[in-house]
Chain A
Amino acid sequence: QVQLVQSGAEVKKPGASVKVSCRASGYTFTTYTIHWVRQAPGQRLEWMGWINTGNGNTKYSQQFQGRVTITRDTSASTAYMELSSLRSEDTAVYYCARVYSSAWYFGYWGQGTLVTVSS
């Protein structure tokens, strides 16, 4: 069965960077796009961007452009999301999500990774 397993919780200081991993199993990794979505405490879901796991092409939300980098390691069936210049407002649960069939909806989600930004 499809599984996405994310790395553990992180605590970072303002100005630092964080890199969250998302290891996929149960399917051919390079076949389906992976997106990243975040959710601040008590807030809505926010789409951050995606990576074509086959060719490595990426697209980022304008809101995070310049601060987010999504990469993948096909040999490890793992996608990564790195967010830089962290500020307190970046405290959130970060999810990876695999598309269901088309590129624009998400049928499989990781368990989420809590990133806390605090001095």
Chain B
Amino acid sequence: QSALTQPPSASGSPGQSVTISCTGTSSDVGGYNYVSWYQQHPGKAPKLMIYEVTKRPSGVPDRFSGSKSGNTASLTVSGLQAEDEADYYCSSYAGGNNVVFGGGTKLTVL
């Protein structure tokens, strides 16, 4: 499978909102509601932020939200905070018991 497409970078000022897109195909993002998002700080393991497109694990602030339209999923971070600066990866079930990740987006808090 090809990697899902994410913008390499995104940025926003503290308090603002930023949205990161994740584009796949009807065989992955568009075909299943198993899109997830991960936050990764430098040198650390990824952390699950959103699963099943819109759900947040316990402990994840409600400033983080997910959505999907067609073959494109999105992660929105509202009320940006300095600690949100990190790399963000989307992932999707891709059929045939396979998983595919996106290329990653570096979020900068200005």
Contact = CB atoms under 8 A, between A and B. Distances in A.
Contacts of B101: 37, 44-47
B99 to A, nearest CB: 4
B3 A102 contact: no
Contact of B46 (A45, A102, A103, A104): A45
Nearest to B46: A109
Contact of A107 (B57, B93, B98, B104): B57
Interface in A77-108: 95, 97, 100-107
Given A44-B104, A45-B46, A105 B34 contact: yes
Given A44-B3, A44-B104, A105-B34, A35 B48 contact: no
5 contacts: A44-B102, A61-B98, A97-B46, A105-B52, A109-B46
B94 to A, nearest CB: 9
A102 B55 CA distance: 12
Given A35-B99, A104-B34, A105-B34, A44 B89 contact: yes
B98 A59 contact: yes
Interface string A47-69: 10010000000010110000000
Nearest to B101: A45
Nearest to A109: B45
Interface residues of A, number: 24
Interface of A: 35, 37, 44-47, 50, 59, 61-62, 95, 97, 100-107, 109-112
A96 to B, nearest CB: 10
B89 A45 contact: yes
Contacts of A46: 101
Among A35, A95, A100, A104, max chain B CB count under 10 A is at A104
B38 interface: yes
Given A105-B91, A109-B45, A45 B104 contact: yes
Interface in B1-55: 1, 3, 32, 34, 36, 38, 40, 45-48, 51-52
